[in-house]
Structure 1
Amino acid sequence: MSEKRQQPENAQKLPDNLRVLLVDDEENILRSLKRLLRREPYEVVTAESGDAAIGVLENERVDLIISDARMPGMDGPTLLSTARRRWPWIVRILLTGYADMNSTIKAINDGRIYQYISKPWEDDDLRTTIQQALAFQYSERRRLALEKLARKQNRELKTLNETLEQKVAARTTELQQTTDMLDETLAELRKSYVTTTGVFASLFNQRLPADLQTNAQVSSLARAVAAHLEMEENATRDLEMAAALYNLGKLAWSDEMLRAPSDKLTREQDRIYRRYPEAGEQLLMALDPLQGAAALIRHQRERWDGRGYPDELEGEAIPLGARILRLTVDFIEMQAGLVVRHKMPREDAIRTIKRQGGRLYQPELCETFTELLENNAPDLYPEDDTMIAVPTHGLEPGMVLARDLHAASGMLLLNEGKELTERLIDKLIAFEKGEPRGTRYTLFICKSDDADGQNVEAG
């Protein structure tokens, strides 16, 4: 019997009988994965083909499938699509390489996979992804169960006699508690989607040098603009996810084209470039919670004067989030050298944005945007009295992140709201030591009061 590792103290408590199915036609990969996961708090079963995996699913309960993309006979996307139709509650993950984009797109559209993992995988990233996928499935099952319970209790409530006021009051209290639990679960799900988009964006960034990794900057700037405009919560969340994934449609581009400024593209490259907003939207079509973000991604290259693409929308027909996304992307990419051959200084980028008000951008929004940049120069996101900057050696268990933490490579390490544990702090310190000489990480920590009423300060 395989040895199982205890779940971390800060991890969501999951059932003890979870089962993960690994599918790959290469026996050495299955052995490697089983060895990697042998101490995890779930059972691991394997299959060496798509047909064998179907046999396992027909005879055993499975909570999560990880399938290789390329296999003889039934390939990974076909297996995951079949599993979605017959066992929709099973979480599906595709194991693939960058060269398997067609298989990945098929798995996303037909199999509605939770995520894809690139070969070769990072052991810790793979374990974390599986833990998050199982937590996501468990939260979804809890949400559905709670919704069913709420409907049942609502029916019972309607049958109560008007004279049974005490019973009505008791049932109402129970229903309120159930609703509160539902709200909490839905909030967790929404947060998990936002976090997942950040992870996915950081994976895309691995194809780019550090100075061209713009997603994190675009996300931060878009979030600042949304806060300044006091946008409502759902619209802000859609904008944050769209900003994290705005260049998703560039996944199939060559490395040369990814690095080239847009004004130096060939005629054929420009034709491909103009399709990336639609391609990004199509990759998200199967994910219902991301439909708002997908619409913003589609319309991010529309122009205020109606001469943009793909739909030539004009004026306020362009969604507000898409107008903001275009401003933030253009401003960041000008400075990264992705618009013209040379990197544009910050002040020149602001002046260029101003000149295009009324043509590319909504005039009033353009003015607000540039004023926000000018009034907060040079640091648009200064510390405030709700957070402190703490180096890794000053971290303590129980601290909570106030901002996402990215590695120097652009990879998302920890998301905002994460509570630090002693084990996690040790891993961060070890990670920092393994980075190039001189690399140091500073984390922004939420302030809180200690037992003596003093604010927690950096060590």
Structure 2
Amino acid sequence: MPQTDSHNDGLDPVEIATVSQTGEMASQPPPATLLLVDSDADTLALLAATLEQEGCRLLTAKGGEAALTVLDEEEIDLVMANARMPDMGGIDLLNRIEQGWPHCLRILLDSQSDMNAIVRAINEGHIYSFVGIPWKADELCQTLRQALAHQQSERERDRLEQLTQEQNQELIELNASLEKRVETRSQELEQLSAMLEAAYTELEHSHVTTTRVFSSLINLRLPSRLQTNAQVDALVRAFCEVHELEDELKHDLLMAAALYNLGRLSWNDHMLTTPSQRLFAEDQKAYQRYPEVGESLLMALDHLDGTARIVRHHRERWNGGGYPDQLEQQAIPFGARLLGLAVDYIELQRGMILPNKLPRQQALELLRKFSGRVYDPELCASFLKLCLEQAPDLGVIGESVLSLDSSKLQPGMVLAKDLYSEAGMLLLHEGKQLTRALIDKLLHFEEVEEIRYSLLIKKPGSDG
């Protein structure tokens, strides 16, 4: 066998040496791990010296049993073993490796040109290659490079096969999901078709009933958290009663409160659930067209001419910066100015305009802030007064109540409506008389939760 200097006589059964190549970046794949097996320490040292420039992580083992120990402890990419070792022949070792670690490549070294041994090694050990001893350094390195390239190619093929299988499975699941969605949407369309047919029949008897059906269609299209028509209707209805608006205007306003969302029926799910300030490009254009679309859908109904006009202009702004016609101040129909206030107030609280939901009090403050720019200042003041004193959007219209920010609470006040946390937990129940301790606890809870609550308080002298 090849000889080396005597200073290698003390080589341990397992010796690990890592060889890096020209300081590769840490992001590069780790070097292949090569296990050299021979019973002679000098031969192992010579093999390591020959292959150290190939950029591999080199491990050595003196004999077959030591090699099997290394394989149990390390991830080995390739084993290069001498065919003639006293404890276990190289062919037997490679055969055991083939059974236990089939993905590990195997190269046999032999000092004799024994064709029978070579054939046996190929048949039993499924070796990748055979190298004669003494070896030529360049041929040995070339064999190693070819073996590792072959291994990398096989691994890449396996990876691509696995990826293909995963993608095929994803496609199967996607197709199943798509079929289910198509079936669900078909059922929804059938329901919508049935409801529209019922609406047309009902139109012969009462346009009010028809309006309610259309309103229910809108709610069917929207997620429950975005169904705002009931609260908008409550606000508009209360304003009409308090200010004694004429019957025709009241009728048109109530119809508009039920139908102002009609133009949104053509939106996709993304637009329906995205705050308007986060819509861009074509989605933003589609958003700004929905009042016109709503008006066009109502044009065929002569008795809803006034309603259609309110729907078209409820997104106009006092300073002329709205849409679709950039009307300003008194040129905007009164009903459209009122409806715009009610819609913005509710949609701010639902997170349909800004990225985050606003508490009721903050929504009111935002309306006040934009009074004179976005909203009719006189009308806005009347609307805010209604919300603070009657809170029709909270279902307490007609009751003698005040809506107060928690910072304005005083001991002795009586709660007019249950107070729930954002998570749905009951904090204070209706009829509870507030004490200083309760108020302080509520203020502390608001600091922890980073939220501000508005409470409905019974006016002094009211029943209950």
Question: TM-score, structure 1 length as denominator?
Answer: 0.44
Between the two structures, name the one with larger relative contact order (CA 8 Å, sep ≥ 6): 1
Which structure carries more helix by proportion?
2
